[in-house]
Amino acid sequence: MRRLTGVRAARQAVRDRVPRRPSMDLERMDDKGPSPWGFAFWVFLTWWPLHDVLRGSAHPWWLALPLLAGFVAVYLGTVMAAFDARLPLWLPAAGVVLLTAAAACASAELGSRWYVFFPLAGLAAGTVAGHLPNRSPRPEWGLLVLAGGVSAAAGVTIWLGGMKGSGAGSIWWGTVSASTVTAIVIRLFSVIALLREAREELAHAAVAEERLRFSRDLHDLLGHTLSLMVVKAQAVRRLAERDPALAAAQAADIEQVGRQALTEVRQAVSGYRGRGLAAELDHARTALADAGVRAVLRRSGGPLPPDPDALLGWVVREGVTNVIRHSGAERCVITVRNDGSEASVEISDDGRGAAATTPNAPNAAGGTGPGGGGNGLA
């Protein structure tokens, strides 16, 4: 009982203490972020230099072909090395330097089509700079040196080569944006991973704290009562033969103390279990709105007794949590019915997952388990 109720209370504690779900759903985003193969796709930009080589317009060809093949190989190797934390940081950084030098030489010797090497060098610099916060104590300097160095080299090469007009601006701006945007996107996914880890640590800490608090509450609640029952039971054993009437009175006291302890335990567990149906419906409306889900609440019938009210409140809380986390819905309908003999809650949504519903639950005996295990709805 302690474990189940403590975990449920801890889940609620996490929802109350951790900021509400942001518009960016961390649980629906890829854990690893961009793949290195996604950056390998941009090798297609080398089609224009390759076209020059195939047409024979790149002179000297014996320089153009090895330079093109070497550039592609170094670019792919640099990107892969940037994503591999096992490799030393200087290895992909050296690859960025080689790519920048190759882009400058190719642009100066082989013509304007070869300027596309600079945006690719910027992409490689961005992949390295984006992983610097995980591998370097001063990542801002690495970003400045790598992205700034490639951009500066592109600007100087364009200026010395006499390239003018929108083409020159496009090459330079493409280099700057490729390096900075790539670094920002990769860093963003790193931060998302850190946030997810922090939320998990908060959840584990809340579970541990709630279990400890629940155990303390049970000790305070039952310690004195059980001690009194033991003392009275000993008195009954001693008086059973000498004074049956007094022994019967002590036994009646034991029964009364036991019933009182049982009532107190049920009240304590009910307090852990939930805040009641009305409060949970209000909380569900707010939580769904924060998650971008339109809530429709329908309720018929009068108020419920305390135990069924607490149980249905727990059902609403768990059902809404599943809708927010797993359904991807835009609309959620919560219907509460109470005709005096039966009470039910139905939670439906228009998401991809199956609608979460709770069937009618009449005639359950009193208890503290999940789903009533039960708390009566009769």
Q: Is residue 217 part of a domain?
A: no
Burial class (CB within 10 angstroms; exposed 0-12, middle 13-18, buried 19+) of 36 = middle
Q: Which of 159, 181, 197 is the last residue of a domain?
A: 197
For the cut 90, the answer to whether the pLDDT of residue 332 exceeds it is yes
pLDDT at 194: 82
CB < 8 Å & 24+ apart, contacts of 372-376: 372/311, 374/311, 375/307, 375/308, 375/310, 375/311, 376/307, 376/308
The answer as to whether 105 is a domain residue is yes
**In a domain? residue 43:** yes
Helix axes 61-83, 47-55, angle to 10 degrees: 160
Chain-wide mean pLDDT for the chain?
74
Query: What is the pLDDT confidence band of residue 119, given thresholds at 50, 70 and 90?
Result: confident
Of 175, 197, 219, the one marking the end of a domain is 197
Same domain for 172 and 80, yes or no, is yes
Instruction: Return the amino acid letter for 344.
Output: S
pLDDT of 118 over the 80 cut: yes
Q: Are residues 189 and 296 in the same domain?
A: no
| 189 and 52 share one domain | yes
Type and span of the H or E element at 357: strand 357-358
pLDDT tens digits along 142-187: 667 777 778 778 777 777 766 766 677 787 888 888 888 888 888 8
Enter the tokens of residue 337: 């019915």
Is residue 289 situated within a structural domain? yes
User: Which residues have CB under 8 Å from 375's CB, separation 6+?
Assistant: 307, 308, 310, 311, 364, 366, 367, 368
The string of pLDDT tens digits covering residues 350-366 is 987 644 444 343 333 33
Asked if the model's pLDDT at residue 308 lies above 70, the reply is yes
Amino acid identity, position 233: A
> Do 106 and 193 have their domain in common?
yes
Q: Which domain holds residue 160?
A: 26-197
30: which 2 tokens?
């890829």
Angstrom distances, CA of residue 70 to CA of 47, 60, 94, 330: 14, 16, 14, 50
Question: pLDDT of 211-262, one tens digit each?
Answer: 887 777 777 777 767 777 887 888 888 888 888 888 888 888 888 888 887 8
Q: Is residue 180 part of a domain?
A: yes
Looking at residue 133, its pLDDT comes to 67
Provide the pLDDT for residue 9. Answer: 46
Residues 65 and 188 grouped into a single domain: yes
Residues 57 and 162 in one domain: yes
Q: What are phi and psi of 321, to 5 degrees?
A: -60, -40
Last residue in a domain, options 197, 227, 249: 197
Same domain, 187 and 328: no
The total number of structural domains that make up the chain: 2
Q: Is 349 helix (H, G, I), strand (E, B) or coil?
A: strand
pLDDT of residue 24: 43
Residue 332 maps to which CATH number?
A: 3.30.565.10
Which pLDDT score is estimated for 4?
A: 37
Answer whether 36's CB lies under 8 Å from 80's CB: yes
Coil, helix or strand for 291?
coil
Asked if 65 and 179 sit in the same domain, the reply is yes
Is the domain of 290 the same as that of 161? no
Pair of tokens at residue 106: 């190719």
Q: Do 164 and 294 fall into the same domain? A: no
Q: With 60 as the cut, is the pLDDT of residue 15 above it?
A: no
Q: 167 and 34 share a domain? A: yes
Q: How many CA atoms lie within 13 A of 206 on its CB side?
A: 18
Q: Which residue has the higher pLDDT, 95 or 31?
A: 95
